[in-house]
Amino acid sequence: MDHERVAALLSAPRLTSYRQNTTTLTEAVELYEWDLRAASRVLVLTGLVEVIVRNAIDRELAGWASRRSDSSEWFDHVPLDAQGAADLAKARLRATQRGRRPEVHGRVVAELTFGFWRYLVESRYHTALWVPGVHRAFPDGAPNLRVRRAEVAQRLQQLHFVRNRAAHYEPIHERDLGRDQRLAVELLSWVSPVAGAWAERVSDLPAVIAARPRSPHLRCTRATPHPETARHRARKVVSWTHDQ
């Protein structure tokens, strides 16, 4: 393999972090190849998290709505902030093809982004949604509801962040991906022990981590968790949806 030509195809800026963690161009390209494989496994793992968590929250929001009205359709009752309401409205438009087909609940849920669900467990909704119902989506979490919400929110934030990097082909080789695997399995175990066990069986991210290039010259590093502040989380990307 002509690694110089491969590097030219990728561009020097894209290879910067890989060159900084290796001593030869060949090692940098090999690390980039490994990063691609790791990203695909991250998407499998976080895909499981997104689907299982959103279904669990959706179920509890339906119960929450039923206790407050004669309908379990929470779309019309949930007290979202302006950005959340806008994201829900967009999802309903996409699900109905701008009114050209009937609204189906499941289609709307599928159109809501990972970012939407992540922010439903943030402190802004602790009183309005978490305590009255959403906490039941994670029955095996911490007994204290405030602690449980904070721990769920922290895990979703980390997994949302690494999912975005993997989906947008950004480097993830400096992250502690083993930690991400543990956070995902733990979070899903709080939804259901079956969910946690299934994710552990389906995800082969640990095998990819073990296969990371380890030449004598490779400088393996582990990044610290992403230092996101509340303001950074809210404004990092244009809107609450952040990503798809």
> What's the pLDDT at 98?
84
What angle (nearest 5°) sits at the alpha carbon of residue 31, between those of residues 29 and 32?
60
What average pLDDT does this structure show over 122-127?
A: 96
Q: Which two tokens stand for residue 34?
A: 């490994």
Q: What is the pLDDT of residue 72?
A: 84
What are the tens digits of pLDDT across the range 102-116? Answer: 999 999 999 999 999
pLDDT, tens digit, 9 for 90 and up, residues 63-108: 999 998 888 899 999 999 999 999 999 999 999 988 889 999 999 9
pLDDT of the residue at 69 = 86
Residue pLDDT, tens place only, 185-198? 999 999 999 999 99
pTM: 0.85
What confidence score (pLDDT) does residue 136 get? Answer: 98
pLDDT category at 215 given cuts 50, 70, 90 is low
- Return the pLDDT at 70: 82
Angstrom distance (rounded) from CA 132 to CA 25: 55
> Are 171 and 20 contacting, i.e. CB atoms less than 8 angstroms apart?
no
Residues 17-32, mean pLDDT to the nearest whole number: 94
